[in-house]
A and B are shown apart, each in its own frame.
Chain A
Amino acid sequence: MNVGIVQFPGTNCEYDTRYAFEQLGCTTQILWHKNDTVAANTDLLVVAGGFSYGDYLRSGAIARFSPIMQAVIDFAHKGGKVLGICNGFQVLTESRLLPGALKRNEHLHFLSRHHHLQVVSTDNAFLNRFTCNDIVNIPIAHHDGNYYIDEAGLRSLYDNDQVLLRYCDAQGNIANPNGSVDAIAGICNAQKNVFGLMPHPERAMESILGSSDGKRMLEGFLNA
């Protein structure tokens, strides 16, 4: 599988993401933001985490207008699979490839720790290796992870099985670290080819470092 990893000034998870996908046997290519094309054989584009453009104005707002993002948007509109992790999720909502927006964490703190997540939807290219209500342990590291969507938008997310992950505790009870609507940690678009989440599966690839649950998540794309 060929994975393109988008890199803006201020991105800092591109090499972890490359390591993660190479562990899974993928061929990876880091795509600098000034590129305006994506290789034709690309199977998955990942918008990696970090602080693109210093989070100036709003997280992800400036990155959205980089040349590479027009290529990412075209790729997604043609049905190509796109995954946004953390700042990548913010970039995808700012680009309107995913609905809603990410606000400052409710208690205004930067959060950096492992957090449990409940798997909500598995009928998609990302979480197909799980069953509903599975619990995974994945690191979070964000300041603007407070997912917002209006009531009508939330209903349509649930109606179309677009809610992927919700924050919970180790027993699976919903636990909301950042004020997100319905404790939502990750979603996909209605066509189920664009995925976004605040937690970092690429940082959960080795059990010696606390969790390898991220491996099982990213492996989903190999099946798809």
Chain B
Amino acid sequence: MKAIVNVFLKAGVLDSQGKAVHHALGSLKFDSVEEVRVGKQIVLSLSETDEAKARAEVEQMCEALLANTVIEDYSIELRP
């Protein structure tokens, strides 16, 4: 099973990289962009086959290491 973890700065925490990318897109005349958030994606290959167990374990990984919950939110997507 694969777990895809997306980590983003929390809403309300200024995303300077997102702002810089937004600015650059504006320079390229992509005027329809209203907001850009830059995050990171971490892809884990797991030996676990039970979805609930896998999700619980990846949540623990996110809380302990993969995200800094003081400034970041995370989401977990599981794929067979």
Contact = CB atoms under 8 A, between A and B. Distances in A.
Contacts of B66: 57
Interface in A17-70: 57-58, 61, 65
Given A57-B65, A57-B66, A65-B65, A104 B71 contact: no
Interface residues of B, number: 11
Contacts of A101: 68, 70-71
A106 B68 contact: no
Interface in A94-138: 94, 99-101, 103-108
A58 B68 CA distance: 8
A176 B20 CA distance: 19
A103 B39 CA distance: 13
A106 B65 contact: no
B14 A179 contact: yes
B16 A148 contact: no
Contacts of A149: 70
Interface of A: 57-58, 61, 65, 93-94, 99-101, 103-108, 146, 148-149, 179
